[in-house]
Amino acid sequence: MIQKMKRYQFLFEELVKRDFKKKYKRTVLGMAWSVLSPLLMLLVLRLVFTQFFGRGMDHYTTYLFCGNLVFSYFNESTSQGMTSLTGNASIFTKVNIPKYLFLFSKNIQTLINFGLTLCVFFVFCVLDQITFTWKFILLVYPILCLVLFNIGVGLILSAMFVFFRDIQYLWGVFTQLLMYMSAIFYTTDGYSPLFQKLFYLNPVYAMISYVRKIVLYGTIPTLQHHVLILFYALLVLAIGGWVYKKYNTKFLYYV
């Protein structure tokens, strides 16, 4: 795969540039929407949920931002990755190139947006008087796991979307449900210890929880937590790779 990536490096770079430009085409603010969009969502969440869930909770805005930051990246990456094959059918039906390049380019574009939002998040941490420690370096780990997880989900979704276009509607409903199950605007402290553990069956929540432990509580997650999010990432990536390998030759007949 690495050799193929080097071989098609120019094409890959052009795909990333195209996806990035296409997203902000004919918008007045352009790249500023990468920052404004999550900030506006954060403002809405704060206005709606502060009175219900944030009373008496320290750093509630940062707590919200942690959840919204991770979930928004997951949602954007997988939703855009889902159409990466059908949206580039005119290219790979004429030229024999690795089809996963289109998904990777989408992921790089959303990763850039995530990086810009992450910078704003750190500014919010300063304004919210969050203490920065060396442990913030460990945020690289859940981000890397999230990137791999998003690629894996994108591989599965983009393959399914070729055969079943209904998947885009089902995925929209599923991500809405997943958002409410990821404790973005509420805490899990009020639940029983057993129920709190059940939340970790949700990979997105597991990654959000990791980020919160580092940023809000200044603690290093347990070894089990590290292993869990890596397991989710590698498992989904392996499944996605298997799906692509199995149906690679059939994509041409359905796009």
CB 208 within 8 A of CB 184: yes
Residue 199 · residue 188 · CB < 8 Å: yes
- Token output for 63: 């707590």
CB 178 within 8 A of CB 204: yes
pLDDT tens profile 4-43: 656 666 666 667 666 666 666 665 555 666 666 666 776 7
Q: How far apart are the first and last CA of the chain?
A: 24
Instruction: Copy the structure tokens of residue 109.
Output: 């574009």
Distance CA 133, CA 143 (A): 18
Q: At what angle do helices 9-23 and 100-127 cross, to 10 degrees?
A: 50
Q: What pLDDT is recorded for position 164?
A: 87
- Least Cα distance to 128 among 208, 196, 66 occurs for 66
| Beta carbons of 214 and 139 less than 8 angstroms apart | yes
* Three-state secondary structure call for residue 185: coil
3-state secondary structure of 31: coil
Report whether 215 contacts 126 (CB < 8 A): no
Closest CA to 145 of 218, 87, 245, 73: 73
Contacts of 167 (CB under 8 A, 6+ apart): 82, 157, 160, 161
Cβ(219)–Cβ(213) under 8 Å? yes
Length of the chain measured in residues: 255
What is the pTM (predicted TM-score) of this model? 0.86
| Residue numbers of the chain with a pLDDT score lower than 50 | none
Spans of all domains in the chain = 2-20+28-253
Distance CA 117, CA 163 (A): 34
State which H helix or E strand residue 22 sits in: helix 9-23
Helix (H), strand (E) counts: the chain: 11, 0
Distance, CA of 28 to CA of 254 (rounded, Å): 37
Question: Can you read off the two tokens belonging to residue 251?
Answer: 């994509």
- What gap in Å lies between CA 233 and CA 148, rounded to an integer? 6
Task: Give the pLDDT confidence score for residue 100 in this predicted structure.
Answer: 78
Q: Give the pLDDT confidence score for residue 190 in this predicted structure.
A: 81
Which pair of tokens denotes residue 21? 């430009």
